[in-house]
Amino acid sequence: MHDPIVTFERVTKSYDGRTLVVEALDLTLARGEFLTLLGPSGSGKTTTLMMLAGFEDPTSGTITLDGKRLNHVPAHRRGIGMVFQNYALFPHMTVAENLVFPLEMHGVPKAEIEPKVKRALDMVRLPQLRDRKPGQLSGGQQQRVAVARALVYGPKLVLMDEPLGALDKQLREELQLEIKHLHDELGVTIVYVTHDQSEALTMSDRIAVFHQGRVQQLATPADLYERPANAFVASFIGENNRFDGTLVGRDGANCRVRLPDGSEIAATIEADLAPGAAVAVSIRPERVAVGAQAQRDNRFVGDLREVIYLGDHCKLRLAVAGNESFVVKVAAGDAATTLDRGSALAVAWDAAACRALPPLA
Amino acid sequence: MAISRNNLLAAALIAPLFAVVVASFIVPLAVTLWTAIGNPEVRETLPRTTAALRGWNGEGLPSEAAFAAVAAELAQAHEAQAIGQLSRRLNFEEAGLRALLLKTARAKDRLSAPYRDALVALDPRWGETSLWQILARNTAALTPLYLLRSLDLSLTPDGKIVAAPADEAIFLALFARTFVISFWVTILCVLIGYPVAYTLSTLSTRWANIGMALVLVPFWTSILVRTTAWFILLQREGPVNALLLGLGVVDAPITMIFTRFAVYIAMVHVLLPFVVLPLYSVMKGINPAYLRAAASLGAPPWKRFIRVYLPLTMPGVAAGGLMVFMLAVGFYITPVLVGGPEDQMVSYFIAFFTNQTINWGMAAALACLLLAMTAILVVVARLIVPGFRLGGVSA
Ligand SMILES: Nc1ncnc2c1ncn2[C@@H]1O[C@H](COP(=O)(O)OP(=O)(O)O)[C@@H](O)[C@H]1O
Ligand SMILES: [Mg+2]
């Protein structure tokens, strides 16, 4: 990476001295990028963010910002902006006072304060609310003010911890785009935490997938979806059909996996695994074709369990080769959607569309 | 329709509570206020005199009927043993009247018409306009005298308000002392209670419970017991002096008991929990994210405290400080036990008038003025102290 702004080197964190909440974290952030820490609740995302912000000390390892070690630099001297899930706007100050606060703390000359406050409020389209108290604002407005407050003094790096978690879906999608556009306009580096994979896919340049205190994969949204590093990532990002089996043959990137019921699947493989290893085969629902398809590498007959109508498309749930909830996506008008429950249905997919993955890194 | 039914039900449910509040708070308050301004003695004991004085213009002497009535009614009151209250009441207006009334009541058999001459002959004071002015004034149902006396003022016989004689003008200084002591006790309680509450609020649940128990245990002991403990500790031969002497800090025991210092120590000790408890609950409720936000916005620790933490905990300071102040203003037993004569507060004199001189009018007047002054001070404090809102931060 040519211009790193933040690096984590072998950073670990344990609150109780026994369980590792963050484990040997190596992470490099490029200047100006939008990096999302994505993972289920309890996977160590907030802890990672708090160590970067200076509210928690790493148990071991080093964090640097602009090449300088951050260990023992107190939070207020790091110059890192932060947006909290519950906004954390000061309830006893008006919106404008909340924005003036960081400017005063950073010694911005009096004359420059008002124009900056005004610009920040215009930026989040709330100039008319400057004299309200936070308690008089809606959740979305509060979050906009919190974003404006974190950005107003021009930090190079801004951290956001599930900032939209408390908002309803529509508002969340609106603000996702607003934050993304602010990022593009201002060129700040943003580290964003969420457990919502679609939010991560929408906003991020890169996503680090957290699970059990470890980064499972750090990649662009497209890579993450198309080329998951392991079964956890495959099932966490997007919908996924999974078959657990044993690697029985491998020829470079092509391999064969034997399932417990004796059937075999042809798949591609990248991981450094030898025959005999346990693997999870991952296949996306939209990559499966229904009906007899002689030319596909993998052909199975499933037992139709359910047809779920979703407007523009339908989902079929089948039992296939021991997988009781094998999902296939088909167009809404497809003939298969008119079949009765219990009908036999042929499904097929290519080896190239299906990946044999290590069960977990 | 449904709403009004619900309202009725709600009203019915709170009616008993309302009755309790009225009975236990408003009624005693009203009775006290009434006692402070009520003036029943002359009207009830001397009803015919009262009637006879109604037509008098306050100049010269009243009619013979008034003299006749007062002679007869004083004698009656003496027989009915009702003269004590009356004479005490009028003696409060002017020293010496008690003796005059008793003397007149006992002279019943020697008095005969015309009563004016007979009474003046018995005691020339009956021929003075001022005596009759005092009598006539107190035929009114209400009197301002108790309140005036409580403010170091007095009434001349012809009804002008003047400064009370120096040896009776002790009450303004008493009120001032009461509020000064209460003020400093409040300040000390807040200054000590704030860090205590803060420390408790940062401890883990287990240690916070232990710390809270330490704060509360004294709370469960009676004020009398705690004050007595200070009485013992602060004596000349007490443990504190023994310690100071033993450490060589002082050469001779220092006088601590019966001083203002002892009053402050004992009162702060008794009242500290009242400020720690509300502060603790306010501090517990403050989301640590506010302080983290302030830090991430560049505020060093002391600015986080001044600009964010202190304003957010202000409702706790106000609630606790107010509670301490209110309680301190009414303190009685602690100054009595560990303070000197110059450290007694208003309550001491309320008790004095209630128990020693049986002057309930003065006791009630002092109590009412204390309440009124405290209320005014609280209103003023609300106006001038920033963030002094009892209902918490407007969120
Ligand atoms: N202050 C703390 N003290 C002790 N354990 C904590 C603390 N904060 C978080 N944890 C634990 O660390 C783990 C990771 O938490 P966190 O970083 O908040 O995860 P995430 O943000 O991904 O949901 C969780 O198991 C959580 O219970
Ligand atoms: Mg979290």
Residue B11 within a domain: no
pLDDT value for B2: 59
Q: Environment class of residue A25 by beta-carbon count within 10 Å: exposed (0-12), middle (13-18) or buried (19+)?
A: buried
pLDDT value for B3: 67
Contacts of A91 in chain B (CB under 8 A): 290, 312, 393-395
DSSP letters, B226-239, are HHHHHHHHTSTTSH
pLDDT value for B391: 44
Architecture label for domain A4-226: 3-Layer(aba) Sandwich (3.40)
Phi, psi at B140, each rounded to 5°: -70, 150
Chains A–B, number of C-beta pairs less than 8 Å apart: 75
Of B73, B158, B157, nearest in space to B115 by CA: B73
Of B248, A99, B17, B32, nearest in space to A108 by CA: A99
The closest CB to that of B296, out of A82, A86, A92, belongs to A82
- B129 and B268 together in one domain: no
Angstrom distance (rounded) from CA B344 to CA B267: 13
Q: How far is the CA of A86 from the centre of ligand 2 (A)?
A: 12
Three-state secondary structure call for residue B38 = strand
Of A295, A275, A270, nearest in space to A354 by CA: A270
Domain with CATH 3.40.50.300 in chain A: 4-226
Which H or E run includes A282?
strand A278-283
The closest CB to that of A133, out of B294, B301, B394, belongs to B394
Cβ neighbours around A18 below 10 Å, total = 6
- Total domains in chain B come to 2
- B126 and B264 together in one domain: no
Supply the CATH number for residue B338's domain: 1.10.3720.10
- B129 and B252 together in one domain: no
Closest ligand to Cα A43: 1
Q: How far is CA A119 from CA A2, A21, A96, A114, in A?
A: 32, 40, 11, 9
Give chain B's mean pLDDT.
91
Averaged pLDDT, A311-315: 89
Q: pLDDT tens digits for A10-56?
A: 999 999 989 999 999 999 999 999 999 999 999 999 999 999 999 99
Q: Which of B123, B141, B159 is the last residue of a domain?
A: B141
Q: Positive or negative, the Cα torsion across A88, A93, A94, A95?
A: negative
Cβ <8 Å between A91 and B292 = no
- B273 and B133 together in one domain: no
pLDDT value for A3: 87
Whether CATH 2.40.50.100 fits A231-357: yes
Tell me if A15 CB under 6 Å of ligand 1: yes
Of B313, B263, B306, B261, nearest in space to B287 by CA: B313
DSSP letters, A16-68, are SSSS-SEEEEEEEEETT-EEEEE--TTSSHHHHHHHHHTSS--SEEEEEETTE
- DSSP H helical segments within chain A, as ranges? 45-53, 95-105, 110-123, 139-151, 169-186, 197-203, 221-226, 231-236
Q: Which of B95, B120, B141 is the last residue of a domain?
A: B141
Averaged pLDDT, A280-289: 93
Averaged pLDDT, B283-297: 94
Of A71, A223, A93, A76, nearest in space to A146 by CA: A93
Q: Does A64 touch chain B (CB under 8 A)?
A: no
Angstrom distance (rounded) from CA A54 to CA A69: 12
Three-state secondary structure call for residue B328 = helix
Q: pLDDT tens digits for B87-143?
A: 999 999 988 999 999 999 999 888 888 999 999 999 999 999 999 999 999 999 999
Q: Does the pLDDT of residue A311 top 60, yes or no?
A: yes
Averaged pLDDT, B219-231: 88
Residue B163 within a domain: no
Nearest CA in chain B to A80: B296
Q: What percent of chain A has pLDDT over 90?
A: 78
The residue type of B321 is G
Q: Whose CA is nearest to atom 9 of ligand 1?
A: A47
Q: pLDDT tens digits for A135-160?
A: 999 999 999 999 999 999 999 999 99
Three-state secondary structure call for residue A204 = coil
Q: pLDDT tens digits for A173-214?
A: 999 999 999 999 999 999 999 999 999 999 999 999 999 999
B378/A11: higher pLDDT: A11
The closest CB to that of A76, out of B290, B300, B307, belongs to B300
- B129 and B181 together in one domain: no
Angstrom distance (rounded) from CA B312 to CA A330: 57
- B125 and B236 together in one domain: no
pLDDT value for A252: 86
- B357 and B223 together in one domain: yes
- B112 and B188 together in one domain: no
Q: Which of B141, B156, B184 is the last residue of a domain?
A: B141
- B226 and B369 together in one domain: yes
Tell me if A39 CB under 6 Å of ligand 1: yes
Cβ <8 Å between B307 and A101 = yes
A87, A148 in Cβ contact below 8 A?
A: no
Which range is least confidently modeled, A173-182, A336-345, B95-104, B145-154? A336-345
Angstrom distance (rounded) from CA A149 to CA A134: 12
Q: What percent of chain B has pLDDT over 90?
A: 73
Residue B391, token pair as written in the block:
């209902």
Residue B245 within a domain: yes
Nearest CA in chain A to B289: A88
With left for phi above 0 and alpha for psi between -120 and 50, is residue B120 left, alpha or beta? alpha
Of A19, A47, A49, A59, the residue with max ligand 1 atoms within 8 A of its CB, to mutate for a pocket test, comes to A47
Q: Which of the 8 DSSP states describes residue B235?
A: S
Angstrom distance (rounded) from CA B3 to CA A246: 69
Confidence of residue B384 (pLDDT cuts 50, 70, 90): confident
Confidence of residue A271 (pLDDT cuts 50, 70, 90): confident
pLDDT value for B392: 43
Three-state secondary structure call for residue B80 = coil
pLDDT value for B393: 40
Residue B292 within a domain: yes
Q: Does the pLDDT of residue B253 top 60, yes or no?
A: yes
- B276 and B223 together in one domain: yes
Tell me if A13 CB under 6 Å of ligand 1: no
Residue B150 within a domain: no
Q: Does the pLDDT of residue A112 top 90, yes or no?
A: yes
Phi, psi at B228, each rounded to 5°: -60, -35
Q: How far is the CA of A163 from the centre of ligand 1 (A)?
A: 17
Residue A116, token pair as written in the block:
């900056």
Q: pLDDT tens digits for B11-69?
A: 899 999 989 988 998 999 999 999 999 999 999 999 999 999 998 988 889 999 999 99
The closest CB to that of B293, out of A79, A82, A133, belongs to A82
pLDDT value for A223: 93
Q: Which domain holds residue B111?
A: 40-141
Averaged pLDDT, A267-276: 90
Of B246, B85, B250, B294, nearest in space to A149 by CA: B294
Which range is least confidently modeled, A292-301, A316-325, B74-83, B293-302? A292-301
Residue B184 within a domain: yes
- Report the DSSP pairing between strands A354-357 and B153-155: unpaired
Q: Does B303 touch chain A (CB under 8 A)?
A: yes
Q: How far is CA B25 from CA A46, B1, B17, B212, in A?
A: 53, 34, 12, 31
pLDDT value for A159: 96
- B330 and B232 together in one domain: yes
A279, A319 in Cβ contact below 8 A?
A: no
Averaged pLDDT, B292-308: 95
**Residue ranges with CB less than 5 Å from ion ligand 2:** A 46
Q: Which of the 8 DSSP states describes residue B27?
A: H
Residues 6+ apart with CB under 8 A from B386: B311, B314
Confidence of residue B284 (pLDDT cuts 50, 70, 90): very high
Closest ligand to Cα A37: 1
- B231 and B340 together in one domain: yes
- Report the DSSP pairing between strands A264-269 and A60-65: unpaired
pLDDT value for B387: 61
- Report the DSSP pairing between strands A298-309 and A313-320: antiparallel
